[in-house]
Every structure is written in C-alpha cells, then in structure tokens.
Amino acid sequence: MRTVPALLALAWLAAPPTAFGQEDQETLRRDLDTRAAAMEARVLALRRDIHRHPELSNREIRTAQLVAQELEQLGLEVRSGVAHTGVVGVLRGGLPGPVVALRADMDALPVTEETGLPFASMQRAEWLGRDVGVMHACGHDAHTAMLLGAAHVLAAVRDQLPGTVVFVFQPAEERPPPGEDGGAQLLLREGGLDAPRPDAIFALHVVPEYPVGTLAWRAGGAMASSDRMRIVVHGRQTHAAKPWEGIDPIAAASRIVLGLQAIPGRQTDARKPAVVSIGAIHGGVRNNIIPDQVELLGTIRSLDPEQRLELHERVRRTATALAESSGARAEVEIDVARGYPVTWNDPELARRMLPTLERVAPVVVEAPPRTGAEDFAFYAQQIPGLYLWLGVRSPDLDAADAAPNHSPRFLVDEDALPLGVRTLSHLALDYLTTAP
C-alpha cells in the first residue's frame, strides 16, 4: 500500500511541465540579475586568465581543466574528455521540466596577438608543422567565461528550476587539425548530449559589428554552410612558345574560376545568398613551361540547405565542362564530411525567445545573414537551436575602425560580458518556465 506522500511524489513526477507562475518567474528573474551582477568580477578574471593562456583546437587541456573545476565546485554532474577535450556539465533543477542546453566554444587560433593588452597572449604552439603564435582572436575566451558565469548564476537557484540545464563547453569549433576529428560533430557522435537529451540549445558569439549593449538575432538561415573544394585541372605539358602542342591547364583553370564565380545569381536563385570563392591556385614552375596540371582550392557557401546541394552539383558540372571544352580534364573534390551545414535558427524557438532578448538587452536588432560558418549548425540539425550575436565594440569606436574576428588586433570591450551572462541565464530560465 502506497502512502499519501508516495502518491503525491508519483503524481509530481508524472505531471507534465507547465508554465511557471508569473510572480514566481519575475522573482526568479530578479534573482538572476542580482546574482549575475555579483559575478562580474569573477567572469572578468576568468576571461582574462583564459585569454592569457589560449589553446588550439583539440588541445584545450588547461581550459578544460579550469572549466571542469568550476563546474564541479558548483556541484554539477561533470563529464570531461568529451570529443577529446570537451566538458559537459548537467544542472538538475529541483522541479520537473524540460531540458535546455547552453553552449560555448573554447579553442583559439594560430594568430600572433597585437592588441597590447596587459593580459595578452604570449603562447606559441605548432600548427601544420610551423611554430605560430596563439590568440583568442575570435572571442571564445569570452564565450567560455560568460557560460561559466551563467552556470554560477543558475546553480544558485537550482532548487527553484523546473527542469535541467546542460552546459556544453566544446573544443575545436575552428576545425580540428587535418587528420583529426573534433568539434560539435564528434561531441554529438560520442553522445555528449544524450544523457539528458536537450529539447533546445542556445549559444551566442561576440562580434565587433555591434556596440556593447546590443543583441542580434535572426530566424531561419543565420550563418552559411561551408564546404571546401579542390579542383585539379589536368592538361599536357609543353613549351610556352608552342602552346598548341600541349593542353594548357592554366588557361582552362582561369576559365573555371570565372565560371564558378558566375554560378551564384546566374545559375542559382539570386534571392538566396551564396558564395563560391577560389582562395589558392597552384601550378607551374617556370615562365616558359606550360605545366601538366593546376590545383584550385576554395569554398562553397550557402544559406539554404537545399541550395547547398545544388551548388555542389553546379560546381562539378561547370568545372568539368569548361575543362573539357579546351581538351583538359578536371577532377572536383568537395569535402562534405569536413564541411559545416547551414546554421539554422528554429523560427518558432526564435519567436518564443524574442521577448527574453528584448527584456535583457538595451538594443535588440534583427541581423542580416552571415556568410561565415559555425559548427553550432550540427546541434541545430538535431535539436531546435537559436544562435545569437553579442556586440562587443566600444561605443566610442566606429564600426569601420574595429578589428574583425580573427584579426591579431581583435578586442572585446569587457563591459559586454555581464549582458552575455544575463542573456544565457535568462534564455535558460525562460525556456524552462514559459510554456511554448
């Protein structure tokens, strides 16, 4: 015979999650803001420590140890070594409810820092056989510090949370070294988000396009797919004085470059942004020898998942046909396995969370699509996702004068960090406490 408390407990566990009471929700929101403000100094210190000690993709050992230690001190369930150096922390609330994930990336870039900051990186490492400087030139140090701040804030109110928050600290967003797996794909493949499985996932990225105090969002295709391509044009070597006695792969490659650039807007719908770019051409050794072959390296980018596949086919067809028209032969390789899909912001999730953004940020803007790529896209293929941009440009600096992400002079105005902590914390809280 079950006791009354036991029956009540069973009913509590079986009850579907419902919207939180408005008064309870407002109280919790105020509590989050108070706790986020109290975390400012800690978040700043974490960011500067991580910035001073950057680590390349799949080598984020020190950063991962710091993250795991912070999460363990908060009493979270912590899994380390996910996708090589990733860390996943699980915060189980005191009440039943859904599961929401928050993600930050941890890796730095092979860039020698030129900011002159007192905590600038002096780190060096080996990248593709070369000794290089290492810098958080894309702001992942800020991402990691802000998510740790959000973990502190949410852990402090865990007993009142109706559901579970999963904190994902991901390595290798900037792509692992050649020959290695890593990033979001490997984290998913290793079950990093399987126990528990999130119902939604959020992330943000610092950008200098917007000043401090700004959040930018976009529904649908937010960032482009990115696929590397390699085209080898085979001709027949001959003396440059007698090109008709051979087959000129340089001339054929030149026609291919122009033909590829004409695909977006001529062969595909111009209302759907796409980019086909060649970034490197290799061929020949002397001024008077027409070589046997030329290699083209480039990328294909699209903001539409179906158009992505269409572009692949048109690139293959265009390169092959143009080479054949001059007697040459083209081999086209498109590395889909290492490519990134379109970062797709779930429109319904974006609509649902827009009031949260408008409440926490002084300025909220709808952003244009970005032709850069992000491996957050892999999460959003499996889980409804929302990817945002946080302005980190100093208000007294013109946008044209702000160094871009990946620059050795890229700067984060640290006054933006508290808004990042609040945004992540409130997205998690509102998702858990607000009915869809």
Active site residues: 340, 414
CB-based contacts of 368, cutoff 8 Å, min separation 6: 218
Q: How far is CA 388 from the centre of its chain?
A: 10
Using alpha carbons, select from 386, 368, 35 the residue that is nearest to residue 210: 368
Using alpha carbons, select from 6, 75, 73 the residue that is nearest to residue 46: 73
Using alpha carbons, select from 155, 185, 148 the residue that is nearest to residue 169: 148
* Number of Cβ atoms within 10 Å of the Cβ of 288: 7
Maximum alpha-carbon separation in the chain:
100
Specify whether the CB–CB gap between 78 and 191 falls below 8 A.
no
- How many whole angstroms separate alpha carbon 375 and alpha carbon 202? 13
Beta bridge partners of 234: 293, 329
Q: What is the CA radius of gyration of the chain?
A: 25
Q: Where are the alpha helices (DSSP H) in 156-228?
A: 183-189
Specify whether the CB–CB gap between 106 and 169 falls below 8 A.
yes
* Number of Cβ atoms within 10 Å of the Cβ of 75: 12
> Could you write out the DSSP letters of every residue in 317-375?
HHHHHHHHHTT-EEEEEEEEEEEE--EEE-HHHHHHHHHHHHHH-SEEEEPPPBSS--T
Give φ, ψ of 269 to 5 degrees: -60, 115
